[in-house]
Chain A
Amino acid sequence: MFDTLILSRIQFATNMTFHILFPTISIALGWVLFYFKVKFNKTGDTIWSDAYQFWVKIFALTFALGVVSGITMSFQFGTNWPGYMQTVGNIAGPLLGYEVLSAFFLEATFLGIMLFGSKRVSQRAHTFATFLVAFGTSLSAFWIIALDSWMQTPQGFEMINGQAHATNWIEIVFNPSMPYRFFHMMTASFLTVTFLIAGISSYRYLKGINLTGSRVLIKLAMTVAVVLAPLQIVIGDLHGLNTLEYQPVKVAAMEGIWETTKGAPAVLFAIPDESIKTNRYEIAIPKLASLYLTHSLDGEVKGLDAFPGATPPVKPVFFAFRIMVGIGMLMLFTAGVSFYLTRKSKELPKWFLKTLNAMTFSGWLGVLAGWYVTEIGRQPYLVNGVLKTADAVTKVPANMVLGTLVMYIALYLGLIVSYIWVVFYLARQTNPMHIIDGQKSGLTNSISGA
């Protein structure tokens, strides 16, 4: 029933889904820590050093999970998708290479100094190490998003004997969808972290831990969110228009538009049915999709029927898009309410703190849904218009792929549960200062002539 292709796709999606959770947090959290550090250096207020000490632990844990799941990714290309490197290796190779050379070593090496070196180097050097780690994670995001975007909107290359050869590296790196996707993801990372910080701080506040500090962090996080949530909607809209220009079939799947229409409606809810190529139980607002996609009430929107044989599976793209937008709206609404409540009184009501706590990991859902839209929406291609996913897959027998897939799923489920559990466990510690990596061992004397 399951062949190597579908199993490899599920496996890649599983690995990617697990991996992206952690960089999504560490990209923005690195900068947040740098902010805490600078703020403490300037004011000397222990609120900021306490915030740094607490969040750096979550950062360390998150970073470790990101690194190990990232190593898995670097092997997946070869083990499951050999056709990918054989066809576009000349483009993908250097982009991945620059990610490793410019970002991975930088962040990994200075992480050691950032985490454990504050007594061994000057404050200035420690602040700089924190900066380099944050910079490294963002740089890494830049390279990998450049590559992903190139797979969506490839340019700057020519095909010679079935292999892509680079003709213009600037065009390859700054391909049409790259700037939109990069800023969309960076903003998503910051939104995820603002809600993580607000959620955990609310949890601590409700438990009566570090009241002043928790209140300051909730306010800071929600102030950033109230700016970023609307900004993200604008960036997302621009990204969507870019997709409409370069990958119209993806937009058709996102909107659930089966036939090319003038004055296309915006489908709020429906269950797309691929067998009869129509939507069931559709609730739609007439002409709205034409309005926001073409900026004209009667503008023509291409439907899925315009791309025979090259359409992605509609259901997952359609629903994932609605989940992403839903989370975005929920974040906007929550940040707005928080803004209103904090202006009214200093103390946030209990029900609102509970709401924030419930939304601790809401960013994860939005980010995953968004990536599902863009990656499933690119199907059946692996590199849009250049290489089909089915043509890149390995010849490894299906049962072997099934074996590793089951192993990964078991491992990831265990780890995600442990991660969330430990994050809340750390949050319950009244004095997180006491948690150190490796307790004193009492070994003092050295043997032999060292």
Chain B
Amino acid sequence: MVPNLSEPSGWLPLFFLVAMGIAMVAYVVLDGYDLGVGILLNQASEPEKDTMISSIGPFWDANETWLVLGVGVLLIAFPMAHGIILTELYLPVGIMLAGLILRGVSFDFRAKAHLSQKAVWNFLFFFGSFLAAASQGVMVGREVIGFDSGYLGWIFSFIVALCLPAGYALLGASWLIMKTSGELQLKAVGWARKCLLLTALGVGIISVATPFFSSAIAAKWFNLPNIFFLLPFPVLTMACFVLIDLNLLKMQRDKPAQVWIPFALSVAIFALAFLGIAYSMFPYIVVDKMTIWEAASATESLWVIFWGAVIVLPTIIGYTIYSYKIFWGKTEPLSYY
């Protein structure tokens, strides 16, 4: 099933799988926090809403570009799978796009339209963010279980659809803890605790349910000696949840706490969950139907884009860091001057 990895036709698809993985984790974390801020928007007072949006203003556009890169790598490196996956996910993709459109434009319209319309655009910002996150949840759910069309498969997908927005809201709240101060920061601590619980519930359900849908996945996790090597996954994930909660508790009790810890550990939870899913699926890109090598583009095309990626990706990461450094620290009101 795994071809000779010393040949370009063997390792290039693997390279692009890793690249796609990095792009998707980057997307989930980066757009995750700004979608999360959007999901939480309705919980805040009017001036707080402005601060919340200011905190993501310079970043959301570039964050969303990682989604284009993720789906781009799928399209470029695995064109065979690209068609199958996106056709299967036709409706959730359509709804996600509508959500992303709504929130993307609301971001600008809310600040530029007449003040009387601001509430409408605020609501659309929240609604679009939630819609995008929930439909991404459905997409993840469908993909993990190989597009199982039984009603259990759909129930599973809808559970993921509710948990992913909670996870994004966790990232969003942790982002706000870093980027804001005072009352809003305290509120964010409260939001983070609630979302943490929901996220933990979601991760738990997905971890338990996934092996039921595929005996192959179950075997990969529970056969000896795999189970011992894989033990760190659930243990580390649980540790992250506990540590975040302890840290948030400290903040609520006004004890010294590092504001970056909830965000960093939330990112770790997402990374671990992603690795877990990736391990479950590998080497399939469409579960039990198509491996990454069967789905890959022609080797000569992969070479062309390989060199581009090797040169350009570090540059992108470089100027992304530069941009975050420029807007480092607590959020100030955004102005064009």
Contact = CB atoms under 8 A, between A and B. Distances in A.
Interface of A: 53, 56-57, 60-61, 63-65, 67-72, 74-75, 77-79, 82-83, 85-86, 89-91, 93-94, 96-98, 100-102, 104-106, 108-113, 115-121, 163, 165-166, 169, 394-396, 400, 403-404, 407-408, 411, 415, 418, 421-422, 425-426, 433, 435-450
B199 interface: no
Given A102-B312, A113-B323, 20 more contacts: A60-B108, A64-B107, A67-B61, A71-B100, A79-B86, A79-B87, A85-B83, A86-B80, A89-B297, A89-B301, A105-B319, A106-B316, A118-B336, A166-B301, A411-B101, A436-B111, A440-B47, A441-B47, A445-B181, A450-B181
Interface centre among A61, A69, A120, A450 (most CB of B within 10 A): A450
A83 B83 CA distance: 7
Contacts of B85: 78
A74 B68 contact: yes
| Chain B interface residue number, banded | 35 or more
B48 A407 contact: no
A112 B113 contact: no
B101 A119 contact: no
**A-B CB proximity, top 7 nearest:** A82-B83, A78-B86, A89-B79, A112-B58, A93-B76, A446-B181, A68-B104
A438 B109 contact: no
Interface string B57-81: 1110110110111011111110110
A109 B300 CA distance: 30
Contact of A165 (B71, B100, B259, B300): B300
A439 B257 CA distance: 29
A80 to B, nearest CB: 8
B101 A69 contact: yes
B207 interface: no
Given A74-B72, A119-B337, A422-B112, A447 B186 contact: yes
Contacts of B111: 435-438
25 contacts: A61-B112, A67-B61, A67-B65, A68-B105, A70-B68, A86-B83, A89-B79, A89-B80, A90-B298, A93-B76, A93-B301, A94-B76, A100-B68, A100-B72, A104-B65, A110-B319, A112-B327, A394-B90, A418-B105, A437-B334, A437-B335, A443-B181, A444-B182, A447-B181, A447-B254
Contacts of B185: 443, 446-447
Contacts of A447: 181-182, 185-186, 251, 254
Decide if the interface of chain B is mainly helix, strand, loop or mixed: helix
A70 to B, nearest CB: 8
Contacts of A450: 181, 258-259
Contacts of A115: 57-58, 334, 336
A109 B93 contact: no
Contact of A436 (B298, B300, B313, B333): B333
A97 B105 contact: no
A441 B84 contact: no
Contact of B104 (A64, A113, A425): A64
Interface centre among B98, B301, B320 (most CB of A within 10 A): B301
Interface stretch (B144-152, B158-166, B238-246, B302-310): B302-310
A120 B327 CA distance: 8
Contacts of B308: 94, 97-98, 101-102
B287 interface: no
Contacts of B25: none
B323 A78 contact: no
B27 to A, nearest CB: 11
Given A79-B87, A101-B309, A422-B113, A53 B68 contact: no
Contacts of A72: 97, 101
B289 to A, nearest CB: 15
Nearest to B73: A97
Nearest to B325: A120
A97 B72 contact: yes
B225 interface: no
Contacts of B194: none
A53 B101 contact: no
A438 B118 CA distance: 11
Given A78-B83, A411-B98, A116 B336 contact: yes
B230 interface: no
A448 B58 contact: no
B102 A411 contact: yes
A116 B319 contact: no
A438 B48 CA distance: 9
B54 interface: yes
A122 to B, nearest CB: 11
A425 B113 CA distance: 7
Given A78-B87, A100-B72, A119-B337, A109 B319 contact: yes
